[in-house]
Amino acid sequence: MDEKRFQAALAAKVAVSVRLAQVFEQEPLDFVLFFSSLNAFTHNAGQSNYTAGCTFADAFAARLRQDWSCVVKVINWGYWGSVGVVASPEYRERMAQVGVGSLEPAEAMETLEELLAGPVDQMVVLKTTEPVSLARVPGAQERPDMQSGIIEAETYQVIQEMSTLLGKLLWSQLQSLGLFREKQVILTLLRQQAGISISYDRWLQESVALLERQQYLYRHEAPVTEGHTACTIVVNPTLIESAPLWQEWDQHKERWIQNANLKAQVVLVETMLRTLPAILTGKRPATEIMFPNGSMELVEGIYKHNAIADFLNEVVARQVVTYVQERLISHRDARLRIIEIGAGTGGTTSRILQMIHPYQASIAEYCYSDISEAFLRYGQQTYGEEYPYLTYRLFNVEKPLAGQGIELGRYDLVIASNVLHATSNIRRTIRNAKAALKKRGLLLLNEITGTSLFTHLTFGLLEGWWAYEDPELRI
């Protein structure tokens, strides 16, 4: 694209926006509405002129919102397939392949009315035909591999070794309960016969999926018995004794625990896996194994003091600092309130508190919240003396704020790090988290983005992991 073409499209947004402000600056307007595009966020190839214009319009509107007394709103439109330069069958087909449908005028205008009538200042409108992440939209900004370069290649090799051996041990432990000892099995009946609690039904289904990847079995849909069509075909039903596998584990363990990035994971997963039969049959609760006598020692090292956790905690903490700095630029005397949902052992909290310490005079409150009193006591004992602006609150984000001692719209910043996935309804959870925010507040999330044998055999054994009511939104 040459400069002339770039400037022509850019001017359509820049010049019109600026002239609009000059013409209507002194007028008592009811509102100002900017039409923008999803391109301001996704940066499609070949549309740098339009993208630059939309980005300018969004930023210009944000500035007017500060200076003008009327409401200033922005709507970032997604794909329109019936009008405009991309209204072609070929482009519609391309968008359909990634789950994006065409916005049509009638439905778009309904959404526009909702924006104008509601409290939101800016809205992205994208029509999807199936659950789709923004990364699947053509031209969406690629996210860097957060683990790339964080840990050395040797650690990745150990993770692969460990995953293979964990698969063998899982298979052996399930066989010890009577599962997968025949060539063809019906999983539902087998769970009942083995005495595995129904609360672990989803866990068992996920176990089958993970074991299928390691080629221990494969699933088959065919009439088997009356009332049952789904069965699992076992590749080799020969019983595998666990003792030799644990000897192999112990040999590798001596080397693995020398790696500071993996020591906590090795110790935790071994502790849970050795007790797996008792957990699955309800003889011992998983929480009793993971938190012996209420101790946080087994899980504390998962959330900090290893390269990946520390890196991600640093990312979150830097975002918090950036937010605080920007707020203080626009409101020098601001006294900010922050709440962290599910603070737990404080893996993320500790880094945030360290980094916002220079701004402590501007922090009115940092609420350390969790669903467990044990975690609140831990947080108070660990951080309370050094950070006097900390408060502590029992908070179940699945329930409305009313009755939990948390005021609607009280907080400038809501933080949730590796916690919201363990709730039953993510839409309701997000609404409740948002309800704690002030207008134009920030919700900052840090979440896992995949499954692994490690998480399945540790946190996956906790009831909350499988309590979801919305499988279509889960990994």
pLDDT, position 32: 96
The answer to whether the beta carbons of residues 468 and 474 sit under 8 Å apart is yes
Q: What is the pLDDT of residues 210-265, one digit of tens each?
A: 998 888 988 776 655 555 555 677 888 888 999 999 999 999 999 999 988 899 99
Alpha-carbon gap, residue 401 to 395, rounded angstroms: 8
- Degrees (nearest 5) of the Cα angle 24, 29, 34? 75
Q: pLDDT band at residue 138, thresholds of 50, 70 and 90?
A: very low
Alpha-carbon gap, residue 259 to 247, rounded angstroms: 20
Following DSSP, what letter does each residue of 359-424 receive, concatenated? GGGGEEEEEEEES-HHHHHHHHHHHTTT-TTEEEEE--TTS-STTTT--TT-EEEEEEES-GGGSS
Judge: domain 3-136, CATH 3.40.640.10: no
Q: State the average pLDDT over residues 271-294.
A: 96
CATH class of 307-473: alpha beta
**Please, what is the end-to-end C-alpha distance for the chain in angstroms?**
40
Q: State the average pLDDT over residues 355-369.
A: 97
Alpha-carbon gap, residue 389 to 336, rounded angstroms: 11
How many other C-beta atoms lie within 10 A of the C-beta of residue 370? 25
Share of the chain above pLDDT 70, in %: 92
Q: pLDDT band at residue 429, thresholds of 50, 70 and 90?
A: very high
Q: pLDDT band at residue 158, thresholds of 50, 70 and 90?
A: confident
- Do 3-136 and 307-473 fold alike per CATH? yes
pLDDT, position 221: 66
Alpha-carbon gap, residue 86 to 39, rounded angstroms: 13
Reply yes or no on whether the pLDDT at 131 is more than 60: yes
> Bridge partners of 225?
228
Instruction: Give residue limits of the domains in the chain.
Output: 3-136, 153-259, 307-473
Q: What is the pLDDT of residues 1-50, one digit of tens each?
A: 788 888 988 999 999 999 999 999 989 999 999 999 988 887 676 788 98
The answer to whether the beta carbons of residues 219 and 212 sit under 8 Å apart is yes
Record the tokens describing residue 416, joined without a space: 């949730």
Query: Rounded mean pLDDT of the chain?
Result: 88
pLDDT, position 92: 81
pTM: 0.68
Q: What are the angstrom distances between the C-alpha of 15 and each of 60, 227, 386?
A: 11, 69, 53
**In which order are the strands placed within the sheet that holds 437-446?**
390-394, 363-370, 336-341, 411-417, 437-446
pLDDT, position 141: 43
Alpha-carbon gap, residue 354 to 356, rounded angstroms: 6
Q: State the average pLDDT over residues 388-412.
A: 96
Burial code of 131-168, b = ≥16 C-beta within 10 A, e = fewer?
Answer: eeeeeebeebeeeeeeeeebbeeebeebbeebeebbbb
pLDDT, position 160: 87
pLDDT, position 134: 52
Reply yes or no on whether the pLDDT at 354 is more than 50: yes
Checking DSSP bridges between strand 228-234 and strand 184-185, what pairing results, if any? antiparallel
pLDDT, position 237: 87
Q: What are the angstrom distances between the C-alpha of 169 and each of 26, 35, 60, 414, 460?
A: 74, 57, 59, 40, 16
Q: pLDDT band at residue 89, thresholds of 50, 70 and 90?
A: confident
| Residue (of 421, 417, 472, 414) closest to 443 by Cα position | 414
Alpha-carbon gap, residue 24 to 28, rounded angstroms: 8
